[in-house]
A = this chain, B = another copy of it.
Amino acid sequence: MAVAAKKKNLRKDTVNEIIRAEDNWEPVGHTPMPEIPDLRNWDMRLMKTYKPFYAPMCDLCCFCTYGKCDLTGDKRGACGIDISTQQARVVLLACCMGMSAHGGHARHVLHYLIEKHGRDYKINLGDQIFVEAPHIRTVLGLKPETLGDLEKAMDYVESQLIHAISSLHTGQEGSALDYESKALHISMLDHVAMEVGDIAQIVGFGYPTSVADTPLVDMGWGSIDKTKPTILLVGHNPVTAVPIVDYINEHGLQDKVEVGGICCTALEVTRYTDRAKIVGPLSRQLYFIRTGFADVIVTDEQCIRTDIAIEAAKVGTALIATTDKACYGLEDYSKRETDEIVKDMLDGKQTLIFDPDKAAEAAVRVALELAPKRKKELVTPEQVPDLAKDHRLCNMCSQVCPNLLPVGDAIEAAKNGNLQPLTEVFNKCIGCGKCEQECPRHVPIFKMMQAVAGSETWKVRAGRGPIMDVEIRKVGAPIVLGTIPGIIAIVGCSNFPEEISEVADIAEEFAKRKYIVVLTGCSAMAAGMKKDKEGKTIYEKYPPNFDAGGVLNIGSCVANSHITGAAMKVANIFATLPLRGNYEVIADYILNRVGACGLAWGAYSQKAASIATGCNRLGIPVVLGPHSAKYRRLYMSRKEEDDWTVMDGREKKLVDTQEPSPEHLITVVESKERAMVTMAKLCIRKNDTAQGRQIKLTHYIGLHKQHLGTLPDDLHLYVRKASDIPIFFKKEVMAYLEKVGWKEKPVLTLPTLIGTYPSEVPIESVVH
């Protein structure tokens, strides 16, 4: 007790100092710079409705030397862990990896830019963005003004990570729900880290900002002029890509050197210059490398084939690795003279260079030297049968395909001169190369694909970064009232189950229906890889504004923070709720009132896990493609069995709404058709006005009828009053409702979960 009396509140003092609590731009909410326990009650409340659903990848745990331990049945491991807790533990690990990938990137970019511009360099996102960093504002309670302020955000993020990783140690957390709460915490911080990274890049590299119609840039490996020296950027971090462009510009080589990128570095470099090319998404990485058209590959970090150094060497492409994340065992040339580096590289040495300017110069100079000697030709359709001549239909290739594709049958057809099946396989190929590796007869499957890949090019709009405040002001009301039916965020990797064009199909379906469609990363690319009859991609057909029917490329992976940020800005700018240290109120607002739904159709990575889980904590549901069942955990309700009681914030009383909206926080669907139906449903929110609900139900019913043939069999759950019924389907719906004995549902003025679980947030906080 004596001890307690002596104690200061160290944490509160420290937090107040970091966030400059005395600056009164907004009152400080209840959870500035939250630690693991601080939002735990919110998580538990979410998981009361949206319970973790587990699909174990393994019956066992092998984390410590007591193991392996069998966790089937009701067995516990030697440490006492059960199968659910072990799954949640693995989920937390994935989220930590994902957050750290973005966080490590953000730190690196920030460090580079502070070296360049200084710690006091101002954050200025142009004349249309004043709520510059909704995540940093909401989570930390800090309004960042300089690059130095962004460092504070990263310090905080890093301080949380060590505790989460610690909890993964054997003999720590014993509750699946608590591991989930930690995963939600770390994933919330992932969005903070992504925001830090992208804001730093925008202001530090001068990316476009406060503008919607960013340039249309070239995409497709066919857009690379193979007669020129070519530098291929692979990864996610522009710290070396930008100096490469600068070096080219400073030396007047703009027309003499091609710069193309795979994955997010491509999206980054095209924000810096629209002369750069996007070769394609992750799934085209190995394919393009094996063509040998790149003279130099520069790798940075994340989603790079780990055997890229070996693959580059095989085709005679030079390689420079540039980050501590992926060193490939190469010799560190960072402190050598550039002349020496170039000489050694021309002698065939692959190098590791942490100095971006040095790496940039070396890359360009080596490319200029190597290109004239490059002799690479694509395989023609005529050559294919001969390449396949050793093929026997053993189907090992099909058996090892992570996308379950009938590779063997396609090779069989190709051997006989029919390339159509191989074309189909290529269009679904995720690019891992295991088929060829496994082939006992060494059929060069990837090479054969050159004959079917086509050299088509597309246009994709360069990533635009944050949504402008003025856009939010305009769409805030229609979104919250429901008259804009929803924000559809199509994000994530290219591990698609079917044709890559499905992404474009889904995006267009919702754009046509006047949803706001935002995209990032490999999905933003994939959405551009389909043309209509006039040869136009959706980026050319739909407006680039954050408004009904717009189709927006927000940017790379780290730009995902601007999508969640936009939802936060709706609460702040439209509903005037303070963001500052006010996470629960903002998440509750979004869950109940902002009809947004994410889709990660081809998610493969741990980053996708943390991005999605971060959306979930903020109240944004996410739909995943079938491969994502391997993430092991979803958050799902059971619409008819669960309790849908919320608080009416104005009346301050509990109301059993009987309405499962949104129905799930994160779920997997099997087909694109089902995905669209589910997404339309997941945009429904309790706060919808009758008019808004009519519009949302119009799309839900329309998509359901189109793809499933009937009215939805849960339709009655979403009709509160007769006035919610879409006019277009009125008769049919009325008949259905009568049949199922539908009754009017309770009225609600302001739906909120605040007040339904233990929280320090008073219910008054949600009334704006």
Contact = CB atoms under 8 A, between A and B. Distances in A.
Interface stretch (A66-74, A585-593, A688-696): A66-74
A97 B65 contact: no
Interface string A594-638: 000000000111110000000000000000000110110000000
B79 A169 contact: no
Interface string A294-306: 0000000111111
B604 A116 contact: no
Interface stretch (A153-161, A269-277, A341-349, A717-725): A153-161
Given A35-B324, A163-B107, A324-B35, A306 B630 contact: no
A37 B304 contact: no
A146 interface: no
A466 interface: no
A430 B327 contact: no
Contact of A76 (B168, B309, B430, B437): B437
A756 interface: no
A162 B158 contact: yes
B495 A66 contact: yes
A174 B306 contact: yes
A327 B40 contact: yes
Contacts of A164: 100
A324 B36 contact: yes
A227 B604 CA distance: 58
A174 B309 contact: yes
Interface in A303-328: 303-311, 324-328
A34 to B, nearest CB: 11
Contacts of A509: none
Contact of A10 (B114, B158, B432): B114
A165 interface: yes
Contacts of A163: 100, 104, 107, 324-325
B402 A329 contact: no
A470 interface: no
Contacts of A35: 324
Contacts of A540: none
A57 interface: yes
B174 A100 contact: no
Interface string A358-386: 00010000000000000000000000000
A249 to B, nearest CB: 11
B304 A171 contact: yes
Interface in A132-171: 155, 157-159, 161-171
Nearest to A89: B306
A32 interface: no
Given A158-B162, A605-B64, A332 B168 contact: no
Interface stretch (A1-9, A413-421, A456-464, A697-705): A1-9
A641 interface: no
B606 A169 contact: yes
A85 interface: yes
A259 interface: no
A169 B237 CA distance: 14
Interface string A391-406: 0000000001010000
A645 interface: no
A65 B628 contact: yes
B328 A175 contact: yes
Interface in A711-768: 758
Interface string A81-119: 110010000000110111011011101000100111010
A357 interface: yes
Given A116-B6, A165-B96, A78 B434 contact: yes
Given A3-B357, A7-B116, A78-B402, A166 B64 contact: no
Interface residues of A, number: 121
Contacts of A287: none
A173 B604 contact: no
Q: Which of A79, A172, A246, A305 has the most CB of B within 10 A?
A: A172
A325 to B, nearest CB: 5
Contact of A81 (B63, B82, B176, B306): B306
A177 interface: yes
Contacts of A605: 64-65, 169-171
A673 interface: no
A163 B165 CA distance: 13
B357 A1 contact: yes
Contacts of A282: 171
Nearest to A605: B170
A27 interface: no
Number of identical protomers: 2
B62 A326 contact: no
Nearest to A304: B171
A656 interface: no
Contact of A607 (B116, B169, B308, B432): B169
B630 A67 contact: yes
Nearest to A760: B335
B79 A174 contact: no
A352 B118 CA distance: 45
B357 A4 contact: yes
B325 A172 contact: yes
Interface string A203-246: 00000000000000000000000000000000000000001001
Nearest to A165: B100
A58 interface: yes
A533 interface: no
A545 interface: no
A41 interface: yes
Contacts of A116: 3, 6-7
B162 A107 contact: yes
A627 B158 contact: no
A325 B36 CA distance: 9
A703 to B, nearest CB: 26
Contacts of A534: none
Contacts of A41: 332
A614 to B, nearest CB: 16
A432 B7 CA distance: 40
Contact of A324 (B161, B167, B250): B167
A306 B80 contact: yes
Contacts of A329: 174-178
15 contacts: A37-B332, A40-B327, A64-B606, A64-B630, A67-B630, A70-B400, A76-B307, A98-B169, A100-B163, A101-B172, A104-B166, A169-B605, A173-B328, A174-B304, A332-B758
Given A80-B433, A161-B165, 13 more contacts: A1-B247, A63-B94, A64-B605, A64-B630, A70-B400, A82-B307, A101-B172, A169-B302, A172-B301, A173-B326, A174-B329, A178-B326, A178-B328
Interface of A: 1-4, 6-11, 35-37, 40-41, 57-58, 62-70, 75-82, 85, 93-94, 96-98, 100-101, 103-105, 107, 111, 114-116, 118, 155, 157-159, 161-178, 181, 243, 246-247, 250, 282, 301-311, 324-330, 332, 334, 354, 357, 361, 400, 402, 430, 432-434, 437-438, 495, 603-607, 627-628, 630-631, 758
